Amino acid sequence: MNALDWVTQLMEVIAALAAAPLLVGWVNCCRAWLQNRTAPSVLLPYRGIRKLFHKDAVIAEGASPLFRIAPYIVFGAMVTAAMVIPSMGTRLPFTTAADAIALVGLFATARVFLSLAAMDVGTAFGSLGARREMMVGFLAEPALLLVIFVASLISSTTSLPAIAEELATRALGVYPSLAFTAVAFMMVLLAENARIPVDNPATHLELTMIHEAMLLEYSARHLALMEWAAALKLFNYTCIGFALFIPWGTSTGDVPLALVAAIPVLGLKLLVAGAVLAVVETVSAKLRVFRAPEFLATAFMLAMLGLLVHVLLGA
């Protein structure tokens, strides 16, 4: 455990905090271009967060302390998650604290507190959003776990950086199991981050909203933290995807130069992933809420198929 590892760790956290709103801004930008609208500035999410931090918070009457601390817990969970995901280097001192399964647990913790806080004030929209969030969550979680299990089986470890290192260094080949799980992971990503086939991130005024419905009662710094945490969640999921399916270009050794080279590689991957996400969101229509289980069941089935195919064919 040397100094370079800690530098990597620090860089990853700073990059996650700084780049997460940028990723959201980039996706919004791409979506606007694809839909023939004038694109907002890429920096708009930063401005929104700064504006919110300068406002005075208004808290609903009858809100319990849980409502106040929930944003900090959710934000903290997302930052912790960012620490164990190998976005630039795989030698991270923090990974002994949490493996890939604990990572799913971190996301679940954030989800539980977000839902509890949404129900705390007792508005109709809050509890409606919380219930839907739990429905999506309990269907998406097994699919995500299966995706991770396939990667763990292939690399025989559950530590995410070790998985990324193993997958990056093994022989190139056609791996149908990984292809299936990649599609499953993409579907889970869309569902978990309130993206279009399941939820619409662009509106506060729809009866079918899920994520936005839970944030309706928040204002000022609390809302800023919640939005930042949502951006971090998208960033984290994208980086998990990179670690599992395109792990090349992350620094694996003790060479400082590789770490420097990993920065533009990560930037490039994020640019492409954001554009792909925007395309997927533009070409697909939002599903009815009660179709979401079918969508996630398909993701689960694909991940399960990947697992079975890996067991049978060893590929």
Interaction pattern, residues 247-286, with another protein; x per rule: CB under 8 A: ----------------------------------------
Contact in structure between 47 and 228 (CB atoms under 8 Å)? no
Residue among 243, 101, 106 at smallest CA distance from 181: 243
Residue 39 is given by DSSP the state P
CB of 246 to another protein, least distance (A): 18
Burial class (CB in 10 A: 0-12, 13-18, 19+), 105: middle
Residue number with CB closer to another protein (53 or 138): 138
Instruction: Considering only the stretches 16-24, 45-53, 280-288, 298-306, report the one whose residues sit in contact with another protein under the rule CB under 8 A.
Output: 298-306
Residue 179 within binding range of another protein, rule CB under 8 A: yes
Buried-exposed string 277-296: b where 16+ CB fall within 10 A, e elsewhere: bbebbeeeebbebeebeebb
- Which residue bears the tokens 């990324």? 164
Angstrom distances, CA of residue 227 to CA of 52, 67, 220, 233, 234: 10, 15, 11, 10, 11
CB of 37 to another protein, least distance (A): 33
Out of 1, 3, 171, 285, the residue judged to bind another protein by CB under 8 A: 171
CB of 138 to another protein, least distance (A): 14
Residue number with CB closer to another protein (174 or 283): 174
Out of 174, 205, 257, 283, the residue judged to bind another protein by CB under 8 A: 174
Residue 177 within binding range of another protein, rule CB under 8 A: yes
Residue 187 within binding range of another protein, rule CB under 8 A: no
Contact in structure between 40 and 32 (CB atoms under 8 Å)? yes
Residue 308 within binding range of another protein, rule CB under 8 A: yes
Interaction pattern, residues 113-152, with another protein; x per rule: CB under 8 A: ----------------------------------------
Residue among 89, 79, 281, 114 at smallest CA distance from 187: 281
Residue number with CB closer to another protein (18 or 311): 311
Residue 205 within binding range of another protein, rule CB under 8 A: no
Residue 157 within binding range of another protein, rule CB under 8 A: no
Residue number with CB closer to another protein (97 or 311): 311
The dihedral region occupied by 156, where left means phi > 0, alpha psi between -120 and 50, and beta the remainder, is left
CA atoms within a 13 Å half-sphere pointing along the CA-CB vector of 98: 19
- Which two structure tokens, joined as six digits, stand for 174? 């056609």
